[in-house]
Amino acid sequence: MLGVGPKTADILLLMIAKESTIPVDTHVMRVAFRLGISRKKEYEAIRKALMSSLNPEEYLKAHLYLILLGRRFCLARKPRCSECPVKHLCAKRFR
């Protein structure tokens, strides 16, 4: 029997069931770590950190914006920090 992972479950819960959760994909994980939202690169730690710093009605919008930020600016190999709209918040600059 096959199941789904936590990310897929959280996507379904957030987008279809309108439950209060935040799915964490590779982009969300990278952005959350670089912004200093979480010091751990673990799914549940990042999800909890994001959920504790946002209001539940912001979860969907935050999830989508974090993905967009990770795809356009906070790239894995060559981040475009000079163009990033939230570079003033980035903990990566201070490491």
Q: pLDDT digits over 8-25, tens only?
A: 999 999 999 999 999 999
Please tell me the predicted confidence (pLDDT) of residue 83. 94
For residue 60, what are the CA distances in angstroms to 13, 17, 35?
A: 11, 12, 19
Question: Long-range contacts for 78-84 (Cβ within 8 Å, ≥24 apart)?
Answer: 79/34
User: The whole model's pTM is what?
Assistant: 0.88
pLDDT at 2: 73
Backbone angles phi, psi at 61, to 5 degrees: -65, -40
Active site members: 7, 25
Structural fold of domain 6-94? Endonuclease Iii, domain 2 (1.10.1670)
- Report whether 30 contacts 74 (CB < 8 A): yes
**What pLDDT sits at residue 17?**
95
pLDDT value of position 44? 97
